[in-house]
Amino acid sequence: MPVLEFKNVSKIYKQGENEVQALNDVSLTVEQGEFIAVIGPSGSGKSTFLSIAGALLNPTQGEVILNGKNLHEIKPKDLAKVRLHEIGFILQTSNLVPYLNVLDQLLVVKRMAGKVTKEDKQYAIQLLQELGLGEKLKKFPEQLSGGERQRTAIARAFMNNPSIILADEPTASLDSKRAFEVVQLIAKETKLRNKAAIMVTHDERMLEYCDKVYRMEDGRLSLDETSTHKK
């Protein structure tokens, strides 16, 4: 069973008397262990696509299926649980809590979901060690480099063992070296933990780490065979 499916999804915004079609009949399937990229110019519909994939926005038409569940049929109060337990988000900036150290950045996710156990703490430490942050557990965001903050954000996204990771321009605030490191780590963790991952990016240098590349233009999504240069 696919992790995520878009079935003929469209999204129309009303602007006064006018309508703007942000997504136009988008269909997509993402499997376990698959890391895909979505590229396209500003205003092409990428942000709307990611918001719908993350259960933050409802489509005007079509279906979005996550782990076999139609998101449109889930009550709004239950969608919050879906976002917490089944979706991991990585944003353009790390969005770390300034007064929490690196370890607690991850444990706060478990506190939101319920009680923090000894196993949760061990898992958080394991994730941080995998991402090269084993020596930074007690450091606060202001004591970290930009790359370290973004790596912490990656670890946090995986903390609740979600089915899918959604990354919105995760390298936008990083230099080239750190950007490559971050995308490599997302790809590595996706494969290691058999998750699905979608990255929206404008930086086509990062596409070599993705299994598939899709191009968004005027709200339409198509597989871009020419952009895939996976190592």
Give this prediction's pTM: 0.91
Q: Domains, the chain, ranges and CATH? A: 4-227 (3.40.50.300)
Confidence (pLDDT) at 89:
94
| Contact (Cβ atoms closer than 8 angstroms) between residue 90 and residue 158 | no
**Of the listed ranges 16-20, 69-73, 124-128, 136-140, the one predicted with least confidence:** 16-20
Region 69-92: mean pLDDT is: 91
Distance set, CA 87 to CA 12, 50, 74, 193 (Å)? 24, 11, 15, 14
pLDDT of 26-47, one tens digit each?
999 999 999 999 999 888 999 9
Distance set, CA 49 to CA 6, 133, 194 (Å)? 10, 32, 23
Range 199-220 burial, b when 16+ CB lie within 10 A, else e:
bbbebeebbbbbbbbbbbeebe
pLDDT over 90 (residue 224): no
Name every residue whose Cβ is closer than 8 Å to that of residue 119 and which is 6 or more positions away in sequence: none
